[in-house]
Structure 1
Amino acid sequence: MVSWEYPPVVVGGLGRHVHALATELAAAGHDVVVLSRQPGGSDAATHPTADEVLDGVRVLRVAEDPLHLEFDRDMVAWTLAMGHGMLRAALTRLIPHWRPDVVHAHDWLVAHPAIALADVLEVPLVATIHATEAGRYAGWLSSPLSRQVHSAEWWLARRADTLITCSAAMRAEVAELFEVDPDPIVVLHNGIAQRSWRANAARVRDVRERYAPGDAPVLLYFGRLEYEKGVHDLIAALPRIRRAHRGTRLVVAGTGTAHDQLVAAVETHRVRRSVTFTGHLPDADLAALLRAVDAVVLPSRYEPFGIVALEAAAAGAPLVASTAGGLGEVVVDGETGVSFAPGDVAGLAGAVGRVLADPAAAARRARAARKRLGSAFEWSRIAADTASVYAAASCGGPAELGRPKIPTGNVFGRD
């Protein structure tokens, strides 16, 4: 497996996905190597390339090159340098003594090393497309960087011998964007380890008192703070929610580039005293907070899957979620949660109101959501299905592809 993040280097859900999949495959008896990187901003002096076995998985973590590159400022150059480092490490430290049956690439950031390894080793290339640049920006590829990222995604999707997406919505998106047949694309959902989201009653009381003292309703958003996550819609809906349910508070847990805009939105909507930004929370505190709140609200405008919904369900929290992308497959409206259309502020407020007005029904839906995890989102089952994909993959061999044509307007044909 080739991934730009692997614990403890975790940027988003991708790192946790690769870790869970790799360890489950290893537990099932497969020989798994993950090719990843050391933390951003480090170098070979502070974080040299490491080769270790963790939870049955051999992890080769590549040091950053001496070049003064920064991900936020030099994304494409930084990504190319990371890929070069991964390829050198694989060819000098791994391949002389070990040969894989398949190379599995996770997203566009590792397209270069993954494609090169599959070409050189003459083995099948499996690629999981976790999200797309066009999807994140609602179909607009207006900047040179967005067009470059889209081109890398297109190259990986077109070169891969087998494609995987984490939801049916993502399968349709990938097929449309990269002009590939949707039928062979395999949909394998993300999974969840339920035990990691338990919390004792004393800790639950402690975090409730710390972040939202009193008896008024408490809502929680947790995850990355980016525009596509729709947290600004939740803040916009909060005054309406508070008129119907006095004293309602919102806790926002996470970090991201939209933090400052969200703080400004809190001022704009005059709810500064009702919103708490916690930043990143340790897993133990987050697990307790999930058990303490009246509802978890996931207002995404774009969501390839929505692993945070599984985490909330594992903790037993009532769910309110948009129907964006994979969230519509994870949260079943009226059965495992309450849903609303992405970007619909009034619909969001109404959905939250349904949960706060009937706690007993919310608790029943939360129990149903947790029960569903064991049948639909269990990692050992997902790993077994992934192994079957590996076994069925055939090697198409190297392919030289031209650049994709990128429309000047919206790639999804939207206004």
Structure 2
Amino acid sequence: MRVLTVSWEYPPVVVGGLGRHVHALATELAAAGHEVVVLSRQPTGTDASTHPTQDEVVNGVRVLRVAEDPAHLEFERDMVAWTLAMGHALLRAALTRLIGWRPDVVHAHDWLVAHPAIALADVLGVPLVATIHATEAGRYAGWLSSPVSRQVHSTEWWLANRADQVITCSAAMRDEVAELFELDPARVEVLHNGIAPRRWRADPARVPAAGKRYAPSGEPLLLYFGRLEYEKGVQDLIAALPRIRRAHPGTKVLVAGTGTAADLLVQSARTHRVRRSVEFLGHLPDEELVALLAAADAVVLPSRYEPFGIVALEAAAGGAPLVASTAGGLGEVVVDGVTGVSFPPGDVAALARAVGAVLGDPTAAARRADTARARLAVDFDWARIAAETAAVYAAAPAGAPAQLGRPKIPTGNVFGRSAPGVRIRPPRCS
């Protein structure tokens, strides 16, 4: 099949797990013999003079990286306007540089590319498949308090309702998407994220040095890695640390990643008087992160909202014992007592007990880690997921262009109530 993938991130432009997902799926589809074109963008803040549009083949995938337009727009300040400008640039590039090439399907990844993806599917008369990786309402525990959140939500609704086939990465996300966007759940296909385990195998020579660097006296090491956002729940891990240290003296928490909650987390560590026991590492090169995964006593993923939780797969591939909340897809990825230890999202006391169960019985923790790693090749193999995605493409009907009105947005919580134990995050724009 000829596949046109539209995504706002694709390596080397990677913001989060979406970029890694699209890259792995595209390369596996190409390896299986499909003709794949990825329509994406150059880095934020650049323009055609510093980063002109590129058209190249990488790992069997034709990648069209589109230059940012001259307008002085910033994602953080002008998010909706910036997104519309990006969409316009992607659409122009596709219509002028892909002349004579017609895809069998357009695959859109998330709301940020809704405008160009819908336009291309309409113009070309081909099926539109949309993967919804997360939702605005989910990130904000059901509250759409700001104008920007309502705009994002309505664009998500538009993409989901215009798409001929919707994909989510977990059953939990399927239920969320069906409820939020008024879809028949039968129209939503669940295809998990995958992983290439070999990439996460550490060089044995680097592991002892990684452990010694952060725990010179053999102190227990807990690791969180990923984006630093409120919904990732790292503040709950920090809040649980005093209890954990009472049972397991000297325990340290390593936080690897960047994000908008970084300052909040530093302050949280001070508030709970554990600032010296929490080390913020920023972004780590892959080889350092992989070594640290192998050296850590546990990887803790305390998300309050998590559509899937690809970091859980990465931690399992690295051989780390897992402690994870049951938020969203994490409850499907981590099987409590089998591949890790789980706890309810936002429950600090339960988080501390889960960590204690791992630190208190390292033999059982290692056994669960081995089971988690073995499961990857069965349930999360990218070649299998690519084949299932291609089957979705082949079965998707080509719908006609549709004019849809705006969805009604409740003045209260769009899920009917806020999630128990979850403090509502401030609106994106105040």
TM-score in same-fold range (> 0.5): yes
The answer to whether the aligner puts 1:323 opposite 2:326 as a matched pair is: yes
8 Å Cα contact 2:25-2:382 kept in structure 1: yes
> Which of residues 152, 156, 160 is equivalent to 2:155?
152
Aligned to 1:92: 96
Aligned to 1:47: 51
One-letter amino acid of the counterpart of residue 400, structure 1 = Q
Aligned to 1:83: 87
> Which of residues 286, 289, 302 is equivalent to 1:286?
289
Deviation at 1:201, TM superposition (A): 2.2
8 Å Cα contact 2:175-2:185 kept in structure 1: yes
Deviation at 1:209, TM superposition (A): 2.1
Structure 1 unmatched runs, 5+: none
Distance 1:213 1:312 in 2: 22
Higher deviation after alignment, 203-212 or 66-75: 203-212
Aligned to 1:108: 111
Aligned to 1:19: 23
Deviation at 1:211, TM superposition (A): 2.6
Alignment of 1:311-350 (within 5 A): 311-350=314-353
The answer to whether the aligner puts 1:369 opposite 2:346 as a matched pair is: no
Distance 2:215 2:18 in 1: 30
The answer to whether the aligner puts 1:36 opposite 2:40 as a matched pair is: yes
Aligned to 1:191: 194
> Which of residues 9, 13, 16 is equivalent to 2:13?
9
SS of the residue corresponding to residue 404 of structure 1 reads coil
The answer to whether the aligner puts 1:400 opposite 2:398 as a matched pair is: no
SS of the residue corresponding to residue 391 of structure 2 reads helix
Deviation at 1:210, TM superposition (A): 2.1
Deviation at 1:374, TM superposition (A): 0.5
The answer to whether the aligner puts 1:414 opposite 2:417 as a matched pair is: yes
Alignment of 1:200-239 (within 5 A): 200-239=203-242
Deviation at 1:273, TM superposition (A): 1.0
Instruction: Deviation per CA, 1:4-41: give whole Å up to 9, x if none.
Output: 00000000000000000000000000000000000000
Distance 1:56 1:214 in 2: 48
Percent identity over the alignment is 81
Distance 2:275 2:129 in 1: 47
One-letter amino acid of the counterpart of residue 26, structure 1 = A
> Which of residues 65, 70, 75 is equivalent to 1:66?
70
Distance 1:11 1:299 in 2: 20
Distance 1:211 1:401 in 2: 55
Distance 2:393 2:214 in 1: 46
Over aligned residue pairs, what C-alpha RMSD do you find? 0.6
Instruction: Deviation per CA, 1:352-396: give whole Å up to 9, x if none.
Output: 000000000000000000000010000000000000000000111
Deviation at 1:213, TM superposition (A): 2.2
The answer to whether the aligner puts 1:179 opposite 2:182 as a matched pair is: yes
User: What is the TM-score when the length of structure 1 is the normalising length?
Assistant: 0.99
Deviation at 1:47, TM superposition (A): 0.1
Deviation at 1:97, TM superposition (A): 2.1
SS of the residue corresponding to residue 205 of structure 2 reads helix
Structure 2 unmatched runs, 5+: 419-430
SS of the residue corresponding to residue 150 of structure 1 reads helix
SS of the residue corresponding to residue 407 of structure 1 reads coil
SS of the residue corresponding to residue 32 of structure 1 reads strand
Distance 1:11 1:77 in 2: 19
Deviation at 1:205, TM superposition (A): 1.5
For these two proteins, the number of residue pairs brought into alignment is 414
SS of the residue corresponding to residue 56 of structure 2 reads strand
Deviation at 1:59, TM superposition (A): 0.2
> Which of residues 343, 354, 358 is equivalent to 1:355?
358
The answer to whether the aligner puts 1:241 opposite 2:244 as a matched pair is: yes
One-letter amino acid of the counterpart of residue 82, structure 2 = W
Instruction: Deviation per CA, 1:73-129: give whole Å up to 9, x if none.
Output: 0000000000000000000001x1211000000000000000000000000000000
Instruction: Deviation per CA, 1:115-158: give whole Å up to 9, x if none.
Output: 00000000000000000000000000000000000011000000
Alignment of 1:161-172 (within 5 A): 161-172=164-175
Distance 2:194 2:209 in 1: 29
Deviation at 1:216, TM superposition (A): 1.2
Distance 1:255 1:2 in 2: 25
Distance 1:363 1:399 in 2: 53
Deviation at 1:212, TM superposition (A): 2.9
SS of the residue corresponding to residue 2 of structure 1 reads strand
One-letter amino acid of the counterpart of residue 388, structure 1 = A
SS of the residue corresponding to residue 187 of structure 2 reads coil
Distance 2:215 2:400 in 1: 57
Distance 2:365 2:39 in 1: 42
SS of the residue corresponding to residue 112 of structure 2 reads helix
SS of the residue corresponding to residue 308 of structure 2 reads coil
Distance 2:16 2:416 in 1: 29
Distance 2:232 2:160 in 1: 25
8 Å Cα contact 2:212-2:218 kept in structure 1: no
Deviation at 1:208, TM superposition (A): 1.6
